[in-house]
Amino acid sequence: MSHQAYGPLVGMPRILSLLDRHDLKGTFFIPGYSAHRYPDVVRAVAEAGHEIAHHSYFHENTIGMDERTEAAMLDLGLKALNDVAGVRPEGYRAPMWELNYHTPKLAGLGAGGGQQVGVESLGSGDPDDQPGRVLGAGAVWRPASGPRRRRS
């Protein structure tokens, strides 16, 4: 695997080119800090018509983070994505797929639909995740479905 082997200046143009060649659209979960650090890359994602979703600000570990601090990180991330790409994300995936008890409320999914950050779905990392449905917080790794190629 090549996880994090290519940064946003090399990997993202390749991914965007690949998606464009196949006329596909994707969802990119982008931390606000990445938007501030690589604004041209984030603008290219938006200009290509891909969805930009919220991924907090620093990709910080939120485990045990108090509600006020987590709300501040969500707000910073939203502001960065709006300032850089002019988007108000509808999706959110917690950094490291970890949620606190108060995360759904902060993401606008609480019993009263708090809408504190205006996010409509909360991703769990589960490939079977449905928009607007909290499935859990853990990462789920599954083999890709579909035909397998034989190596000779």
Domains contained in the chain, number:
1
Of 124, 119, 128, nearest to 137 by C-alpha is 124
Rounded to whole angstroms, the Cα distance separating 64 from 82 reads: 27
pLDDT in tens, the chain (152 residues): 455 678 899 999 999 999 999 999 999 999 999 999 999 999 999 999 999 998 889 998 888 899 999 999 999 999 999 999 999 888 888 888 778 888 888 876 443 433 344 444 455 555 555 544 433 333 333 333 444 434 34
| Residue 42, in any domain of the structure | yes
Q: What is the CATH number of the domain that holds 116?
A: 3.20.20.370
| Residue 135, in any domain of the structure | no
- Find the farthest-apart pair of alpha carbons in the chain and give their distance in angstroms, rounded: 57
Record the pTM.
0.71
Q: Do 79 and 86 form a contact (C-beta atoms < 8 A)?
A: no
Rounded to whole angstroms, the Cα distance separating 16 from 18 reads: 5
| Residue 146, in any domain of the structure | no
For residue 46, give the amino acid letter.
Answer: A
Residue range of the domain that includes 111: 11-123
| Residue 100, in any domain of the structure | yes
- 67-85 helix and 39-47 helix, angle to the nearest 10 degrees: 70
| Residue 6, in any domain of the structure | no
Rounded to whole angstroms, the Cα distance separating 77 from 31 reads: 6
Neighbours of 107 (CB within 10 A): 27
| Residue 39, in any domain of the structure | yes
3-state secondary structure of 47: helix
| Residue 138, in any domain of the structure | no
Of 81, 74, 73, 95, nearest to 35 by C-alpha is 81
